[in-house]
Amino acid sequence: MPSVCFYFQVHQPCRLRHYTVFDQDHRYFDDFKNRTICRKVANKCYLPANRLILDLIKQHQGKFRVAYSITGVLLEQLAEFAPEVISTFDALARTGCVEFLAETYYHSLSFLYSRGEFKEQICKHSETIEKMFGIRPKVFRNTELIYSNSLADTIESMGIFDGILTEGADKILAGRSPNFIYTSPRSSRVKLLLKNYALSDDIAFRFSNRDWKEWPLMAHKFSDWVSKVNGNGYVVNLFMDYETFGEHQWEDTGIFEFMRHLPGEIMKHPDNNFKTPSEVIASYPATDVIDVPGIISWADMERDLSAWVGNSMQSNALHELYRMEQHIKQTGDKVLLADWRKLQTSDHFYYMCTKWFSDGDVHKYFNPYDSPYDSYINFMNVMGNLEKRYKSKSKINPSETDKNTKIKMANQK
Amino acid sequence: MLGWEFPPFISGGLGTACYGLTRSMSKLGLEVTFVLPRDVGMDMRTTHVKMRTPEDISEIERQQLELGLENVKFRTIESPLRPYASAESYKREVEDLICAKQRRCGSVGIESVGDDSHHYCGDMYTEVHKYAAAAVKLAMQEDFDIIHAHDWMTYPAGMAVAAVTGKPLVVHVHSTEFDRSGEHVNQMIYDIERAGMHAADKVIAVSFLTRNIIVGRYGISGDKVEVVYNGVERNGNGVNLGATGIKKDEKIVLFLGRITMQKGPEYFLGAAKKVLEVMDNVRFVMVGSGDMMRRTIELAAELGIGNKVLFTGFLRGEDVQKVYEMADLYVMPSVSEPFGIAPLEALNNDVPVLISKQSGVSEVLTHVLKADFWDVNEIANKIVAVLKYSPLQMTLREHGNFEVRKLKWEDAAAKCLQIYNQLLSSAVCV
């Protein structure tokens, strides 16, 4: 009976340019680098993968179904640098076999720092998706699948979502299977879909690893693993970065060929099918409550926040950033607000992580900095300039009101 | 082992390196005979290597008995040579020496007191060869397996000893003429370096940066050159800055090293000038001396930041410790730095570090800030960041201090031992 639920995360941050303490202008972002990376990823991943998924949907007459979560920061970049990618997503949307998920527009960590900003970004994102693809998202996934009971409460209180995606971390499952539907203790209306990290990572991380005993991974072998879930779960949630196709796993690893054969192999077994998250939620009941008092994410072995808030530079940068929220919003300056929000993208803080730095580990993927220290310095310099901007704005306002009162007083006289 | 300086009388990193290396070697059970050109008047009993000075025979004999040493000589040559000598400083010192000799003996010690560089070359050459001759004589009385020569001035000695004894020669390159003089190389020194490296059975480079120079500029085959990184002594004393009772209301940025072209003092000042444009309560402290000292002081004045730059001159021991305790950041803007032990010592003393990318030590350190030495803007940018953002300073300090513990002289000594064993086994095969 297992349904296979694919969800792909589609995101690229808006990278900062080299910005020193001596810089005074308001150009914070590296257009050249962002364009180059955007075009490269579009050509290696987004375009060929979208083409493949579209083919598969047609080939299987709509029985192959997937979900995407595309961030607002990426959509803005695609519109500017690779608009053809948006039309291919639109083509996918029109098949009716693709679901788009909701998330924070800026792929931010705002849930941890400002619930108001968090909700605003979700609404902005949902509106954008609806405007672009004509579908209003019904299921939410938070940045890096960050989740806690409190997140479920916040999402349920918004009243517009039926479900939340998060990590099927061992520590929250406590021996249970990620292949069932769960709810959170206080908010029982929204359903939880948990990532089957073992099977997801077989594709996303291990696929091309020649030291892995299952290498080379073939579609029929993988579909056997999926079919084994039969009788012990409703759904196999395969959540991964879209860049798995063509970027994390290069084309010559055979990842596209694997994906081309996978739906057919999986549906060879008559009990198996594909469902989008909303369809899963509509099809199956929740079997148990899952209690997550602390915060989890999909990152690393720890499944925690340490990759983004693990050292004092990261927490300092984040606190300073969100401290500005009210000041920036008070200015009413839309450009300033957008700049501030683009700084919230989690990648900026990920670059500051010192956890694996000494090992020169895999986390270097598209990292524009030589070291976490450089990234922190750059970020703080930009923030310094941002602060000057809102301060100069708020200075203007009181002086204007002063002027007005003077005029009034003069008139009265 | 043939060397030119040894603590406590050092002028740069070479002495520190020789000290750390030999100490760890003796821990590994290696017997080291260290041959120095000058009497450094040290307390022999505190050292781990065998030395003696012929000028003080009676004391040495007593010590020899005490230590059970019988085959160690510590030659004193009245040499003006210093490991980091430049043409100018050497000439000055030669002239001083000659004057002194004339005064003392009433005769000219070295013929043709000239002012042209030909003589100075000849003299330097003579000194190096005097040392070589002394080393050969010494070698005849010694029993040893390997000749290990540190930097160019000992190469002729190393080659001579190797020629006489047939023992394998290892030359250890702590710096090259290109590091010290840029493109204005002294041909004689270059020739000695080149000859030494070619004659050696193995060349040890202190970094891949240096290895590249050895391969590229000296034409040495890459498989003959091994990289052995320097280490740092973990200072066990728990003295911390509270003890000095220094209260400071301004930030201190430290330059510590010889004030010479190689170390890039002008880039330090250039960055200082930039920093002071955006910050006020900063003082730049330059510890060290060198042939560019006067020029650097003048430059500080020219830049109009003379009141913000403090020159301490050369400091030793406890004074260095105190300086580190006060510093908020150590900056090493070296134009060319084969390795650079000083940043490790700064990290050891809980001082965050900004080093030039053109340094060997940047190959081994990750939890430090790095910039191109010429990029004064970027150096200033990073200085300001460290002074302004305490989380940065804290993270650098914590991780840096941890990282530096991994750089141990024990590992360097073990690697040398491995190289020795390779040489000895291959020698047997032949």
User: Would B7 be classed as within a structural domain?
Assistant: no
Structure confidence at residue B113 as a pLDDT band (50, 70, 90): very low
* A408: pLDDT strictly greater than 80: no
Structure confidence at residue A254 as a pLDDT band (50, 70, 90): very high
Co-location of B174 and B260 in the same domain: no
Domain that holds residue B176: 13-231+410-429
Structure confidence at residue B117 as a pLDDT band (50, 70, 90): very low
pLDDT score at B1? 85
Co-location of B227 and B98 in the same domain: yes
Please work out, in degrees rounded to the nearest 5, the angle formed at the alpha carbon of residue A219 by the alpha carbons of A214 and A221.
45
Give the closest of A21, A312, A357 to B366, CB-based: A357
- What's the gap between Cα A222 and its chain centre? 26
- Residue of chain B whose alpha carbon sits nearest to that of A382: B385
Rounded mean pLDDT, A49-59: 96
Co-location of B265 and B154 in the same domain: no
Co-location of B263 and B173 in the same domain: no
Give the closest of A21, A354, A358 to B385, CB-based: A21
- B46 CA to chain A: closest CA distance, Å? 37
Tell whether A357 lies on the interface with B, counting CB pairs under 8 A: yes
Co-location of B38 and B164 in the same domain: yes
Co-location of B90 and B192 in the same domain: yes
Tell whether A149 lies on the interface with B, counting CB pairs under 8 A: no
Distances (CA, A) of A15 to A38, A113, A349, B78, B186: 11, 22, 12, 62, 47
- Say how far apart CA B177 and CA B191 lie, in whole Å: 10
- Say how far apart CA B373 and CA B255 lie, in whole Å: 13
* A77: pLDDT strictly greater than 70: yes
- Residue of chain A whose alpha carbon sits nearest to that of B387: A377
Question: Is A22 within 8 Å of B366 when comparing Cβ atoms?
Answer: no
* A400: pLDDT strictly greater than 60: no
Tell whether A385 lies on the interface with B, counting CB pairs under 8 A: no
Give the closest of A20, A312, A358 to B395, CB-based: A312
- B70 CA to chain A: closest CA distance, Å? 47
Choice between B369 and B73, residue whose per-residue pLDDT is larger: B369
Co-location of B175 and B195 in the same domain: yes
pLDDT score at B235? 62
A91-133 tens-digit pLDDT: 999 999 999 999 999 999 999 999 999 999 999 999 999 999 9
- Say how far apart CA B313 and CA B335 lie, in whole Å: 21
Q: Which of A74-78, B121-125, B407-411 has the lowest mean pLDDT?
A: B121-125
User: Would B6 be classed as within a structural domain?
Assistant: no
Tell whether A371 lies on the interface with B, counting CB pairs under 8 A: yes
User: Would B236 be classed as within a structural domain?
Assistant: no
User: Would B184 be classed as within a structural domain?
Assistant: yes
pLDDT score at A165? 96
pLDDT score at A37? 93
Rounded mean pLDDT, B166-172: 93
Identify the CATH number of the domain in which residue B308 sits.
Answer: 3.40.50.2000
Tell whether A150 lies on the interface with B, counting CB pairs under 8 A: no
Choice between A117 and B51, residue whose per-residue pLDDT is larger: A117
What burial letters (b/e) apply to B348-381, b meaning 16+ CB within 10 Å? Answer: bbbbbbbbbebbbbbbbbbbbbbbebebbbbbbb
User: Tokens for A147?
Assistant: 């989740």
- B401 CA to chain A: closest CA distance, Å? 13
Average pLDDT, chain B: 79
- Residue of chain A whose alpha carbon sits nearest to that of B364: A358
Tell the burial category of A295 from Cβ atoms under 10 Å away from its Cβ (0-12, 13-18, 19+). Answer: middle
Q: Which of A362-371, B24-33, B324-333 has the lowest mean pLDDT?
A: A362-371
Question: Is A380 within 8 Å of B385 when comparing Cβ atoms?
Answer: yes
**Chain A residues 285-324 within an 8 A CB cutoff of chain B:** 311-313, 315-316
Structure confidence at residue B284 as a pLDDT band (50, 70, 90): very high
3-state helix/strand/coil string of B259-275: CCHHHCHHHHHHHHHHH
Give the closest of A20, A370, A376 to B377, CB-based: A20
Give the closest of A312, A358, A373 to B403, CB-based: A358
The answer to whether A73 touches A43, Cβ cutoff 8 Å, is no
- Identify which of A133, A148, A63, A57 has the alpha carbon closest to the alpha carbon of residue A102: A133
| Residues of A that are catalytic | 144
- Identify which of B163, B140, B162 has the alpha carbon closest to the alpha carbon of residue B149: B162
Co-location of B304 and B422 in the same domain: no
Quote the number of domains for chain B. 2
The answer to whether A308 touches A300, Cβ cutoff 8 Å, is no
Residues of A in contact with B377 (CB under 8 A): 20, 22
Q: What share of chain A in percent tops pLDDT 70?
A: 92
Preferred mutation among B274, B356, B395 to probe A, highest tally of A CBs within 10 A: B395
B255-276 tens-digit pLDDT: 999 899 889 999 999 999 999 9
B36-50 tens-digit pLDDT: 776 544 444 445 666
Question: Is B391 within 8 Å of A316 when comparing Cβ atoms?
Answer: yes
Preferred mutation among B367, B369, B392 to probe A, highest tally of A CBs within 10 A: B392
CB pairs under 8 A between A and B: 65
- A241 CA to chain B: closest CA distance, Å? 29
Choice between A273 and B234, residue whose per-residue pLDDT is larger: A273
Q: Does domain A3-289 have CATH number 3.40.50.10300?
A: no
- Say how far apart CA B309 and CA B399 lie, in whole Å: 29
The answer to whether A314 touches A349, Cβ cutoff 8 Å, is yes
User: Would B1 be classed as within a structural domain?
Assistant: no
Q: Which of A47-61, A147-161, B389-403 has the lowest mean pLDDT?
A: B389-403
Identity (one letter) of the amino acid at B159?
Answer: M
Average pLDDT, chain A: 91
Co-location of B113 and B192 in the same domain: yes
User: Would B349 be classed as within a structural domain?
Assistant: yes
Co-location of B200 and B335 in the same domain: no
Co-location of B249 and B352 in the same domain: yes
Rounded mean pLDDT, B166-173: 93
ipTM for this model: 0.84
User: Would B360 be classed as within a structural domain?
Assistant: yes
pLDDT score at B107? 36
* B93: pLDDT strictly greater than 80: no
Domain ranges for chain A: 3-289, 310-412
The answer to whether A24 touches B276, Cβ cutoff 8 Å, is no
Rounded mean pLDDT, A154-167: 95
* B109: pLDDT strictly greater than 50: no
- Which residue has 């009034």 as its token pair? A408
Question: Is A373 within 8 Å of B392 when comparing Cβ atoms?
Answer: yes
- Say how far apart CA A348 and CA A343 lie, in whole Å: 7
User: Would B2 be classed as within a structural domain?
Assistant: no
The answer to whether A280 touches A72, Cβ cutoff 8 Å, is no
pLDDT score at B405? 87
Per-residue DSSP letters for A9-60? Answer: EE----PBP---TT--SS--B-HHHHHHHHHHHIIIIIHHHHHHHHHHHHHT
- Say how far apart CA B194 and CA B198 lie, in whole Å: 6
- Residue of chain A whose alpha carbon sits nearest to that of B353: A373
A290-317 tens-digit pLDDT: 999 999 998 888 888 888 998 999 999 9
Tell whether A177 lies on the interface with B, counting CB pairs under 8 A: no
Co-location of B387 and B250 in the same domain: yes
Residues of A in contact with B391 (CB under 8 A): 311-313, 315-316, 376
Tell whether A377 lies on the interface with B, counting CB pairs under 8 A: yes
* B105: pLDDT strictly greater than 50: no
B199-243 tens-digit pLDDT: 999 999 999 999 999 999 999 999 999 999 998 877 644 444 444
